[in-house]
Amino acid sequence: MRQPVSLAHACRLINHGPTVLVSSAHEGRRNVMAAAWSMPVEFTPPRVAVVIDKSTFTRELVLAGGRFALNIPCRAIADLTYTVGSTSGRDEDKFSRFAIGAFAGSALALPLIEGCVAWLECRHIPEPHSEMAYDTFFGEVVAAQADRRVFAGGRWAFDDGNAALHTLHHLGGGHFGVIGDVVQGHAG
């Protein structure tokens, strides 16, 4: 059900502010953490920003490996999302511990998370000051994929028939708002 998403549409995958899972790898180690704080910063070339705290193992892997992936989880994996946001992978591999399925990204060989509905592989753009002062990491998207059941023709297609695949928006404490209706705004 995965299909490639053109780089021109890649930023639409996170335009609406979903919680993401950041996956990373370097020299045989790998990790995945939840991050509520990410956003696009540019459509062309597609670039993103994500906040990665200094205490995290993910930060070590991103700095060492020079790459990270943003995986977009959905309602069906709310428990997994909260779990990987509540534990550290420094001492024990989370993929093994929680039986998390992963497949290799097509561009950067990053571990991408099964059960998500979109995936963005990003090259880290080193910005030491932003990383130190604001924990803010920038990256350029070099490949993207999405689940065609909920993202097609370059657009999210949330409807009642795919409710389990709707994106999660972290409110705090493991409570996630889920996208329900879609409304069309009309310009005055």
Binding site for its own copies (CB under 8 A): 12, 15-19, 36-42, 47, 49, 51, 75, 78-83, 86-87, 98, 127, 129-130, 133-136, 138, 155-156, 158, 166-172, 174-188
Give the nearer residue to its own copies in terms of CB position, either 17 or 66. 17
> What is the spatial distance between Cα 113 and Cα 145, in angstroms, rounded to a whole number?
12
Structure tokens belonging to residue 166 = 């709707």
Give the nearer residue to its own copies in terms of CB position, either 28 or 153. 153
- Sign of the Cα torsion 156, 105, 113, 69 reads negative
Strand, coil or helix: what is 167?
strand
Give the nearer residue to its own copies in terms of CB position, either 95 or 105. 95
> What is the spatial distance between Cα 9 and Cα 43, in angstroms, rounded to a whole number?
8
- Find the shortest distance in angstroms from Cβ 79 to its own copies: 5
- Find the shortest distance in angstroms from Cβ 25 to its own copies: 22
Measuring CA to CA, how many Å separate 31 from each of 27, 76, 95, 155? 12, 21, 7, 29
- Find the shortest distance in angstroms from Cβ 24 to its own copies: 19
> What is the spatial distance between Cα 76 and Cα 87, in angstroms, rounded to a whole number?
20
> What is the spatial distance between Cα 140 and Cα 88, in angstroms, rounded to a whole number?
26
Give the nearer residue to its own copies in terms of CB position, either 23 or 81. 81
- Find the shortest distance in angstroms from Cβ 94 to its own copies: 10
Give the nearer residue to its own copies in terms of CB position, either 109 or 171. 171
10 Å Cβ neighbour count for 1? 10
- Find the shortest distance in angstroms from Cβ 162 to its own copies: 13
